[in-house]
Homo-oligomer: A and B are copies of this chain.
Amino acid sequence: MSDSRIQNAALRGKIMAADDAAAFINPGDNVGVSGFTGSGHPKAVPQALARRIAAAAGRGETFRVGVWTGASTSPELDGALFKVNGVSMRLPYQSDPDCRNRINAGEANYTDVHLSHVAQNAAWGHYGKLGVALIEVVAILEDGRLVPSTSIGNNPTWLDLADRVILEVNAAQSARLEGMHDIYSVALPPRRQPIPLAAPADRIGDPYLRVDPKKVVAVVETDCFDRDNKFSAPDENSRLIAGHILDFLQYEVKKGRIPPTLLPLQSGVGNIANAVMAGLDDGPFNDLTAYTEVLQDGMLDMIRSGKLVCASATAVSLSARALGDLFANIDEYRKSIILRPQEVSNHPEIIRRLGTISMNGMLEADIYGNVNSTHVLGSKMMNGLGGSGDFARNAYLSIFMTPSTAKNGALSCIVPMVSHVDHTEHDVQVLVTEHGLADLRGLAPRQRARLVIDRCADPRFRPALDDYLARAEKSANGKQTPHLLGEAFDWHLRALRGEAM
């Protein structure tokens, strides 16, 4: 397939096996890899690198690298490298079990960053030097331009910053992805200019990635599909949460605060998010748009049904079934899907301008509306912040949603005080559980608490939350945000002892 997929003669001369390519990665290198929520990540070289690392370990040598990605990847990348404990530092988002375990065992440093900040922070040198860029593409044109894959993430930045570049050309990805991407690079201060994007469908860049061919040390051919991002059918709680959000959006439209076509949608990943999309697909709104991070099955369904006229994202993260549909009908889908660098898909300037309706999951919220998206019981990292902060802070509506309880009802997801804060009371406007929706806009903390307990908490936990609030209002040192610091975490301490909250 080299002939059709790798048109550039010089780069065709660099084709080699994954194990030979991995030899260009040295101990201590930082490696900037492609990949965003299980799509568009390199499939072969990371596993070859893991073999090198294991071999070095066999010789008693330490071989570890820093791994910078777009977001989460897959077993072939994070899984393979963390299994051999080959990663010293990882950023900015992960969801692989081996990766998570190393982080929480204290065996790897994990820097959790707003996804929109990664590219500029790397360019400013905050993360050190980037040795290697390892990027999956679907084709290399004759003039050396690169056709991006199913995600873009930080690829333009990695290609710019790296000393050496390794390209994986994946024949399993449709070559007709060509033209779906819009690569726009944001300058660094003091040379930044307004980003000329005023609607999700606007194209402001060009469809190809560019790389200095002299930096390319290896080209590796692969033929392997993205991770099968399966979804379970929406459960009852997800359907109830979706229903509350739809009712609320209808109310906002009725009030004239948002147009009948709504405002651009941003939706986090996961089953609840997918259920909300399913609800919107059956709902009363038409000509919808999305300005989001990841396009999942739910949004693809909405494009197919005609409900969603345009979706801008940085990655398509689909089930195998949906990916097959995307590739089979890609000339149609290309009219409605734009993939951008994550610095643009998550850019505060654009999100604030468009006024997105942002819907993100969470681990827990407290009665005052602070949200914990990342840390289980205060200390243990789950997946990371992702883009939730980029969107929540600048959206027209920042909605956070979760079932009201976890662990078969033993744990309340509404607590007196969250054990870690990722989104402050200032950035959380709406909380939703299966029991209801709390619209916190414009309310003072004690008003928020009343609403969060009555609308969102599981009824079995409401009396205890009421009791905490009532006693805090009586005895706290100030009544703006009454807390009892001596027992604010008692609920989490019970959970840590394996008891119900």
Contacts and interface: CB of A to CB of B under 8 A. Distances in A.
Number of identical protomers = 2
Interface stretch (A44-52, A57-65, A100-108, A324-332): A100-108
A380 B105 contact: no
B355 A188 contact: yes
Given A479-B104, A479-B379, A348 B393 contact: yes
A292 to B, nearest CB: 15
Given A348-B352, A426-B113, A257 B379 contact: no
Contacts of A425: 112
Interface string A330-371: 000000000000000001110011110000000000000010
A23 interface: no
Contacts of A380: 476-478, 480
A444 B103 CA distance: 10
A476 B379 contact: yes
B194 A379 contact: no
A363 B476 CA distance: 18
A6 interface: no
Contacts of A285: none
Contact of A478 (B189, B379, B478): B379
B421 A424 contact: yes
Given A126-B441, A190-B263, A443-B111, A485 B493 contact: yes
Dominant secondary structure at the A interface: loop
A404 interface: no
A255 B393 contact: no
Interface string A371-398: 0000111111100010001000110100
A195 interface: yes
Interface in A121-136: 121, 124-128
B477 A376 contact: yes
Interface string A488-499: 110011001000
A330 B52 CA distance: 69
Nearest to A418: B421
B485 A189 contact: no
A446 B106 contact: yes
B190 A355 contact: yes
A482 B353 contact: no
Given A353-B349, A421-B424, A424-B424, A444 B111 contact: yes
A381 B442 contact: no
Nearest to A496: B477
Contacts of A478: 103-104, 375-377, 379-381
Given A377-B485, A485-B489, 16 more contacts: A109-B444, A117-B426, A121-B442, A124-B396, A127-B442, A194-B194, A194-B195, A194-B197, A349-B353, A375-B480, A376-B477, A378-B481, A378-B488, A380-B477, A393-B393, A486-B493
9 closest Cβ pairs, A-B complex: A380-B478, A189-B355, A106-B479, A194-B194, A381-B480, A109-B444, A421-B421, A379-B476, A104-B478
